């Protein structure tokens, strides 16, 4: 479970590029009916009906649920315990070359004649978390940080059966992952509508804290659209719009279910705000609207199809209202544009204040992220902006991060590898004595981090023996790669060629 020592700024005014993701329609059931206390009370379980003296108040007190057994029984049957065996830390000299890549080296080990094979002896570190069955055929949604770096995954069901699991895909930007076990006819939770969740609504958190299986805690939604700036450590375009609750969540609850009183999945428990590392009052869950979109894309396409507005934004506050003489006191102000910006091409301008997306009010960066994160490239969104006091409605056709109307396979491969690339300048080529190459500017969660010890700054000169001189050439060389890829290059200031063999 993620921990945050001190959360003072839940929605900073610092610029954040709204690189936000898209969707296709659900193959998993996505319910949209609102969850209300009265509907649930009348149809599911006994309640205590408190009523004030109508003569003195003229109003009734809301009905109070007597217990949460209906939602608890439904949710615990579909929540699993995940035990991950982590990869040992490895150096280049300890790595083995995958079979599909040995042909590049004539069967020899490029890391040295005496390089040991395997990872050595001794017990490997383990970690545990939770997951939610969302399909009877064994598909389970959990957190990316639960499966990140795992060599193997073992899933224990509520009925104590255990299975080996495989990772179908993951998305560090939302901290959501999809895994699968070989089993049929499993109890599954349906996705509920996180958009209809209300502050003050009762919710249950179900998971396996401290390896205590099938634990249920209750609380209320204490806030929505929270950003706690925690996903940026592992992702390049984090999407944070958490549901905040006071239901007790502790280490081991990561990836577990947040359900409404109908037992529908409205969030994936992900983080806690705590000075001690234990529950201290607040927990945070990825909304089902985001989680559903991510697993849907992963199951259909193998990666998240993310659409982008291509804007740099900051939240409107009292200081900005005064500094820019804004005519509205809520929303997000457009500060700048990405190079290939769908928003700019659609007529949005720097200084515009975005107040609504598809009719939904936008009061924070997190709310805008959540709204756009449900869309894919080529989707159209209706954006309401306030420009110098004038309200304008602009339709924006979202693009991919590369500025196209479709997600590119090569860009998806970079996401899977978890690397960001940048072109070399003439000065860098001269200083580092390289004729061509691209630099790894940042390493995020992905296969490179999991399977190699590559460091930021590495200069890639060849991909599968093909020289690369630009980011565009590198992306073309990676396009459609399956099975594995061999990356060759040098570190600035070193003449020693390094090789990284990565299975895809």
Which residue of the set 30, 72, 130, 145 is catalytic?
A: 145
Contact status, residue 191 vs residue 28, Cβ threshold 8 Å: yes
Contact status, residue 294 vs residue 268, Cβ threshold 8 Å: no
* Integer Cα distance of 269 and 284 in angstroms: 6
Contact status, residue 243 vs residue 269, Cβ threshold 8 Å: no
* Integer Cα distance of 376 and 358 in angstroms: 14
Q: Whose CA is closest to 211, among 248, 246, 251, 249?
A: 251
**Coil, helix or strand for 14?**
coil
Which residue of the set 35, 175, 260, 297 is catalytic?
A: 175
**Coil, helix or strand for 404?**
coil
Which residue of the set 254, 289, 299, 410 is catalytic?
A: 254
Contact status, residue 409 vs residue 401, Cβ threshold 8 Å: no
- Token readout for 450 is 């999991």
Backbone angles phi, psi at 415, to 5 degrees: -65, -45
| 254 classed as catalytic | yes
- Beta-bridge mates of residue 218: 204
**Angstrom distances, CA of residue 467 to CA of 27, 296, 477:** 42, 36, 9
Q: Which helix (H) or strand (E) holds 411?
A: helix 409-417
- Token readout for 192 is 């509920």
| 81 classed as catalytic | no
DSSP readout, 295-364? HHHHHHHSS----B--EEEEE--HHHHHHHT-S-SSSEEEEEE-SS-HHHHTT--TT-EEEEETTEE--S
Q: Which helix (H) or strand (E) holds 366?
A: helix 365-372
What's the chain's length in residues? 504
**Angstrom distances, CA of residue 195 to CA of 33, 191, 308:** 10, 12, 21
Name residues whose C-beta falls within 8 Å of residue 440's C-beta, 6 or more positions apart in sequence: 419, 420, 421, 454, 456, 457, 458, 459, 460
* Integer Cα distance of 314 and 15 in angstroms: 5
Please report, to the nearest 10 degrees, the dihedral formed by the alpha carbons of residues 260, 304, 444, 267 taken in order: 0
Strands 282-287 and 242-245: antiparallel
For 215, which DSSP code?
E
* Integer Cα distance of 196 and 33 in angstroms: 8
**Angstrom distances, CA of residue 76 to CA of 27, 31, 58, 214, 382:** 23, 19, 40, 6, 39
| 175 classed as catalytic | yes
Strands 79-86 and 64-65: unpaired
Active site residues: 145, 175, 254
């Amino acid at each position: 479970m993620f921990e945050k020592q001190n959360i003072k700024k839940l929605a900073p005014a610092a610029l954040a590029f709204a690189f936000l993701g898209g969707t296709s329609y659900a193959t998993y059931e996505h319910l949209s009916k609102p969850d209300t206390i009265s509907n649930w009370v009348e149809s599911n379980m006994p309640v205590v009906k408190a009523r004030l003296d109508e003569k003195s108040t003229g109003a009734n007190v809301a009905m109070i649920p007597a217990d949460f057994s209906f939602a608890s029984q439904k949710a615990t049957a579909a929540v699993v315990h995940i035990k991950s065996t982590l990869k040992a830390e490895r150096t280049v000299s300890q790595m083995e070359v995958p079979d599909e890549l040995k042909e590049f080296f004539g069967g020899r080990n490029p890391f040295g004649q005496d390089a040991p094979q395997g990872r050595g002896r001794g017990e490997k570190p383990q970690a545990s978390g939770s997951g939610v069955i969302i399909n009877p055929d064994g598909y389970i949604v959990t957190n990316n940080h639960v499966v990140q770096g795992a060599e193997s995954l073992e899933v224990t069901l509520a009925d104590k059966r255990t299975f080996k699991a495989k990772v179908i895909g993951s998305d560090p930007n939302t901290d959501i992952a999809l895994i699968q076990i070989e089993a049929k006819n499993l109890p599954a939770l349906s996705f509920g509508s996180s958009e209809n969740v209300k502050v003050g609504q009762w919710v249950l958190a179900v998971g396996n804290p401290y390896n205590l299986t099938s634990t249920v805690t209750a609380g209320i939604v204490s806030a929505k659209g929270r950003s706690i700036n925690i996903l940026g450590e592992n992702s390049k375009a984090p999407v944070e719009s958490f549901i905040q609750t006071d239901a007790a969540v502790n280490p081991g609850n990561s990836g577990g279910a947040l359900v409404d009183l109908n037992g529908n999945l409205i969030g994936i428990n992900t983080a806690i705000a705590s000075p001690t590392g234990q529950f201290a009052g607040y927990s945070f869950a990825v909304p089902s609207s985001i989680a559903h979109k991510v697993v849907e894309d992963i199951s259909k396409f193998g990666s998240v199809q993310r659409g982008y507005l291509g804007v740099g934004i900051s939240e409107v506050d009292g200081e900005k209202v005064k500094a820019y003489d804004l005519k509205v006191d809520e929303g997000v102000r457009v500060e700048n544009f990405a190079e290939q910006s769908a928003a700019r091409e659609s007529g949005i301008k720097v200084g515009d204040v975005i107040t609504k997306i598809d009719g939904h009010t936008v009061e924070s960066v997190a709310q805008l992220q959540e709204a756009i994160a449900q869309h894919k490239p080529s989707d159209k969104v209706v954006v309401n902006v306030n420009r110098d006091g004038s309200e304008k409605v602009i339709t924006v056709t979202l693009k991919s991060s590369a500025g196209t109307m479709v997600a590119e396979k090569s860009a998806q491969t970079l996401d899977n590898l978890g690397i960001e690339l940048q072109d070399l300048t003439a000065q860098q080529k001269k200083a580092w004595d390289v004729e061509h190459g691209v630099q790894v500017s940042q390493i995020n969660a992905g296969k490179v981090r999991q399977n190699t010890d590559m460091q930021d700054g590495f200069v890639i000169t060849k991909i599968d023996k093909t020289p690369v001189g630009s980011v565009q050439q590198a992306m073309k060389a990676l396009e459609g790669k399956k099975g594995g890829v061999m990356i060759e290059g040098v570190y600035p200031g070193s003449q020693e060629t390094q090789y990284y063999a990565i299975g895809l």
